[in-house]
Amino acid sequence: MTLNKAQDSGRANGFAALPERLSDSFIVSLTDAACAGVGGETQPTAAVYSGLPLARIPLADPPAVREAFVRAHTAQRSWASVPVRERAQVFLRFHDLVLARQEEALDLIQAENGKTRRDAFLEVMDVAITARYYARTAGKLLRPQRRRGAFPLLTRTSELRHPKGVISVISPWNYPLSMAAGDAIPALIAGNAVVQKPDTQTALTALWSLQLLREAGLPADVWQMVFGPSRSLGEPLLQNADYVMFTGSTASGRRIAAQAGERLIGASLELGGKNPMIVLPDADLDRTVRGAITAAFPSAGQLCVSIERIYLPAALYDDFAHRFVSATKQLKVGGTYDWTMDVGSLTTSAQLDTVSAQVADAVEKGATLLAGGKARPDLGPLFFEPTILAGVTPDMALHREETFGPVVALYRYSNVNEAIRLANDSPYGLNASVWGRDGARARSVAAQIRTGTVNVNEAFAAAWGSLDAPMGGMGDSGLGRRHGADGLLKYTEPQTIAQQRLLGFGAPRGVSPKYWAKLLTGALRLLKATGTQ
């Protein structure tokens, strides 16, 4: 099932060879998990650092996807009958396996995505924390809840939570472990089955998480993965699902939302971003510059919540720009399977084209390159330098369009109200960052930014890592939330059961409707006066 030449030939073309862990036999063990019900067609993938063949991924066709849903529906009924505490134990075992075998995941993420090892490790941490969080909280979130009844003592009301059924999860290539496993975990703990289409380029990383969760005790058909182009698999993934979780572009999210609406099923969509960072006049510049590096260049900028716009008070602009440019030029850019690099590679040639085109368009229209600005084929086929621009104007694509690369633009502002207005001048609303010594003032500014998450004196990790709080976007950045109670309960159907005792709402025998209405009116006034309801 493999075309793994990158291990033997990587150094021959001057780029990093694959680690020995990623042997042909190891890759076959992963791809075999995707072969059930799939025909003989495969798609080759490449090791990003070298561009050399890595694996052949078995592709599904629409009938195979529909068959996966049939198996998933059958498996889901049995899985939902397993007590929540027993389902949670599977994910606690998965947590331990992820940490124990993280070197495999780090190699896979780097090979398929091209990010640095330190950025890959954040995905390992994220998935482990997500598994532990929902394993610990699912019992409380899913147990029946007593609710206030229509009338005290007379109405007993409870809220139950039932799994929706089978969830379609469509996950991207930029965070192949976090987005594959992270969105499936709460759906599965809630008692659903999942049919998932990860991006084919990062299939092995997704399949690794599937393999480990099955080793932890998840029944085979409860979580299935299919691979192939969206143009052929999109229809069966949407037409057979009871709910859709999608991470990707805003354009694709709109189409999925429309199709989900036609079927009257729910959808959670994390889409694009053009995330702003506001530096307040009292900011600690040393700390803020370090934060800006972390904000703009992780995973080569291929992160939905990374910062692409930085707003600076005029009095600090030159000092910040000098420090930021100097720090950026010192970053180590390259592809190695160790911990030495600061910035890795882009993942696809299409993304390299987008980044290159936006930077070239901005420079051609008058923007100034302060750092970077060009591809680095000497480092590997898809590398692009960390890039800082000044003088970006509204007529440039880079001003409003998501770049999704290691590119950030600097802007001046005259007062904080202007900074807030500029930060909000975007159809997107995913993430933002505010930096200042006065925490109360920074939080006040944060509350005025129209994004789903805002980090104070941090780039994105503080909000993303606060798993007890919801994470998601406003505007063109999507619908729904992951993390927190919302991240699990969205995969459930709430049901209200209300039992009426003794008296009902109609007039008792022998009491006229007019007199009964008078009695109820008095009761309502009494309830308000006593604060009972």
Catalytic residues: 270
- Give the tokens for residue 491: 């995969």
Contact 65, 105 (CB under 8 A): no
Q: Which amino acid is at 301?
A: G
Q: CA 378, 307, 484, 160: dihedral to nearest 10 degrees?
A: -100
Half-sphere exposure of 519 (CA within 13 A, CB side): 11
Q: Which amino acid is at 400?
A: R
| CA nearest neighbour of 108 among 100, 118, 120, 97 | 120
Backbone angles phi, psi at 474, to 5 degrees: -110, 165
- Give the tokens for residue 251: 């354009």
- Give the tokens for residue 456: 């104070």
Quick one: three-class SS letters along 477-503? CEECCECHHHHHHCCEEEEEEEEECCC
Residue with structure tokens 């009491």?
511
Those residues whose C-beta lies under 8 Å from the C-beta of residue 73, and which sit 6 or more positions away, are: 165, 166, 193
User: Which SS3 state, helix, strand or coil, does residue 46 take?
Assistant: strand
Q: What is the maximum span of the chain, computed from C-alpha positions, in angstroms?
A: 97
The distance from CA 267 to its chain's CA centroid, rounded to whole angstroms, is 14
- Give the tokens for residue 110: 């780097």
CA triplet 389, 390, 392: central angle to 5 degrees?
Answer: 95
Please tell me the distance from the alpha carbon of residue 299 to that of residue 343, in angstroms, as a whole number.
7
Please tell me the distance from the alpha carbon of residue 327 to that of residue 331, in angstroms, as a whole number.
7
User: Which SS3 state, helix, strand or coil, does residue 346 take?
Assistant: coil
- Give the tokens for residue 340: 């030495």
What are the strands of the beta sheet with 407-413, ordered from one edge? Answer: 368-371, 387-390, 407-413, 307-313, 275-279, 431-435, 453-456
Those residues whose C-beta lies under 8 Å from the C-beta of residue 471, and which sit 6 or more positions away, are: 452, 453, 463, 464, 481, 482, 483, 484, 487
Please tell me the distance from the alpha carbon of residue 177 to that of residue 193, in angstroms, as a whole number.
19
100: exposed, middle or buried (C-beta count within 10 Å: 0-12, 13-18, 19+)? exposed
Contact 205, 105 (CB under 8 A): yes
Size of the chain, expressed as the number of residues it contains: 533
